[in-house]
Structure formats: C-alpha cells, structure tokens
Amino acid sequence: MDKQRLKELYADKRYQSYFDVGLFFVLIFSFHFLYLFWNEGLDFWPIKGAVDKLFIWASALLFDQSTWTLEHIFGMDFFTYGQTIGFLNHEDTYSYVTVAPECTSLKQWMHWLFLMLIFPGPWKHKAWYIPLGLVIVEFTNVVRVVGIALFLRPFPHDFALAHDVIFKIMFYVVIFLMWMIWVEKFLHPTQRKSPSKSLDKQ
C-alpha cells in the first residue's frame, strides 16, 4: 500500500481512530524496547554520568514531594532514614517504602516526549501541552509513592501488588488519557462539533 493511499484512508473518518490508536501503541512499545536497549544494553551510553545525576536529583525531588504530601495532606505518622519512609501498619509492625533512583518518572517523561514529539498535531499546542504532560506525569508518580504507602497500612504483605500492578498500570492509564485528550481536542478538533452547529451551517 503506497503512502498516498494511506493518507486517503487516514482522511476517512471511519478509519482515523484505528490509525491513531495503532500509532499510539506502536510508539509506546517502540520506546519501551528502545529504552531497555539503551539502559540494559548500552548502560545509557554516551551520557551515563548525566543520566545517573538526573536519576539521583529526580529521586530526591520525588521523596521530598511524597513525604510532604503524606505529612500535610494525609497527616500520616512516619519516620525517614535516607530516602526510605517507615510507618506502622495495622498489624503493629513496620512497613517501608524506599524512593530509589529507579522510582523516578524519567522513563515516563521520556515516554511522553517520544510519543508527543512524533505523534501528529499542531506544534503551537505541543509547545505547552508537552510540558504540562511532564508535570502531570511527575504528579502521578507522587500519587504512586503516596498510594503505595497508604495501601501498605491495611495490606502490609501486598507490596508487589501495589508497586508492580496497581500503580504501574495507573502511570500508563494517565498517559493514555492525556493522549486521548490530545487527539480529541487538538488533532481532530473540527470533527467534534455538535450536530446542532453543523445543521446551522447547512
């Protein structure tokens, strides 16, 4: 199938959603494997030193944001040592959440950048929507750390469920929802007019 035929199909409203969703998943999975190769295969060559410093800075920021939220929003009693948060659970034993460098949002930030820089849409809106998305991704990571801590109080033995399933999925749900808003509001805005407005113009 040639490029012109693809453009014609994409212009057909019946197929646009399939193209958009397909491209979304292609970009998401492509970046996932590119990141794994850069991280595990190349050890972040050729900027490993800068990346390591960025991970350390971002984890310290995440730790400060998370502990502030636990203290001032949820009034939770806890203690800290290093970047570990300790607190009593309902069994009167201690649970711990460590904010390590690998807990940062850097991969998700890069996921978002990769997706939005390549995905079609007006650059005048990308100029503010991409930075907004980065802020939302960071906020989501704070929610993740805080959520894991709150989850462990009643369920102290289910760290893996909270860390590896519930809040990991939440990250990609948030990215998907931000992408959906982009497609609906900025990529195809003229197609979302109400029927009444369309009739008025006839």
Residue spans of the domains in the chain: they are 45-188
For 164, the token pair is 């590896």
Nearest to 111 by CA among 55, 172, 51: 172
The size of the chain, in residues, is 202
Cα 135 to Cα 9, 54, 140, 164, distances in angstroms = 35, 16, 9, 22
Q: Which bin fits 97, alpha (ψ -120 to 50), beta or left (φ > 0)? A: beta
* Predicted confidence pLDDT, tens digits, the chain (202 residues): 566 665 665 666 777 888 899 999 999 999 999 999 999 999 999 999 999 999 999 999 999 999 999 999 999 999 999 999 999 999 999 999 999 998 998 999 999 999 999 999 999 999 999 999 999 999 999 999 999 999 999 999 999 999 999 998 998 899 999 999 999 999 887 654 544 444 344 3
What's the confidence (pLDDT) of residue 199?
39
Cα 65 to Cα 85, 144, 165, distances in angstroms = 12, 11, 22
Cα 37 to Cα 31, 55, 113, 133, distances in angstroms = 10, 18, 18, 25
Judged by DSSP in three states, 97 sits in strand
Cα 132 to Cα 15, 138, 182, distances in angstroms = 29, 10, 12
Neighbours of 94 (CB within 10 A): 13
